[in-house]
Structure 1
Amino acid sequence: MTRAGPDGATYLVAGAAALAVALAGGLLTAVGPRSRALRRPAWRPPDWAFGPVWAVIFAMITVSAALAWSAAADVSTRAILLAAYAVNAVLNIAWSGLFFRAERPDWALLDIALLWLSILTLILVSLPLSLKAALLLLPYLGWVGIAACLNLAIVRLNGPFGRA
């Protein structure tokens, strides 16, 4: 017997959650004078690329979450899935707050390492439920891996950080 795919309500809830995370992170991404003054590595993606890449990634997260949720057979599996997504959302939003608002790329580096691990956890939690759901998260893992390397390079080029 084949399980039905996600219904419209599932996509709507997953999309609303992804949009909320994206908006919260975006609101915390205030690029001020200190942020603009940071030295960045030459290989950094251009500023214009970040918005479109994140839009595609959040769309893929939405589809992945809906597929995994619909494939989850019981309440406990759904609870684990929801907890994994909640932790991921908090870490995703926190990175913007730490890097841009707190102006602490060093603290953001710790957060992004945890964020990367939370994405890996999402993949591992989704994999038994839906191969497609797990595969849809791979670009997110890759992009955050690139962002982590960029974050590390910024820390190395500009540290130490802290308030005088």
Structure 2
Amino acid sequence: MSFDSDYEPWFQPPGWVIGPIWLVLYTMIAISFMIVLSKKEEVSNSNIIITLFLIQLLVNIMWPSVFNSAEYLISLMMIVVMVVFTVIYAYLTYGSAKEASILVWPYILWVSFAGMINFAYYLNAR
């Protein structure tokens, strides 16, 4: 991922840290999603939960290209969508697939942190 170093906030982790963290987080959310799919009949609102997950994943996939094109406000709004949809996903899965819910908590924290970095880029670019 290429960031504009002129706008880089002091608290942004080095690039060599970001890749491994994403690898772990994507593995965790994939396992979470597989749990939901395997318990689809037991999980209430499973179609809503699956839809929320897939939308936030699609936004997550699109985010780097939007951010790297220096569209910091749009990419920040995308992070808000990711966090909100994943929090709802975690809330809805907690009762019937608790482990699926717990597996996305680190993702929520990391994406929220990414939102702070994104917001810093937005402010620094103004």
What TM-score results when the alignment is normalised by the length of structure 2? 0.89
Task: Report the Cα offset of residue 75 of structure 1.
Answer: 9.4
Is the alpha carbon distance of 1:50 and 1:76 closer, same or farther for their aligned partners in structure 2, counting shifts above 3 Å? same
Partners of 2:100 and 2:54 lie apart in 1 by 17
Partners of 2:107 and 2:43 lie apart in 1 by 26
Amino acid at match of 2:55: V
Q: Is it true that 1:149 corresponds to 2:113 in the alignment?
A: no
Task: Report the Cα offset of residue 79 of structure 1.
Answer: 2.1
Partners of 2:88 and 2:6 lie apart in 1 by 32
- % identity of equivalent residues: 24
Structure 1 match to 2:96: 129
Counterpart of 2:81 (choices 68, 92, 114) is 114
Partners of 1:87 and 1:111 lie apart in 2 by 11
Runs of 5+ consecutive residues of structure 1 not aligned to the other structure = 1-28, 160-164
2:41 is paired with a residue whose SS is coil
Whichever of the two has the greater Rg, that structure is: 1
Q: How many pairs does the alignment contain?
A: 126
CA RMSD of aligned residues (A): 1.9
Bigger relative contact order (CA 8 A; separation at least 6): 2
What TM-score results when the alignment is normalised by the length of structure 1? 0.70
Task: Report the Cα offset of residue 115 of structure 1.
Answer: 1.1
Partners of 2:58 and 2:27 lie apart in 1 by 18
Q: Is the CA contact 1:40–1:153 (under 8 Å) kept in the aligned structure 2?
A: yes
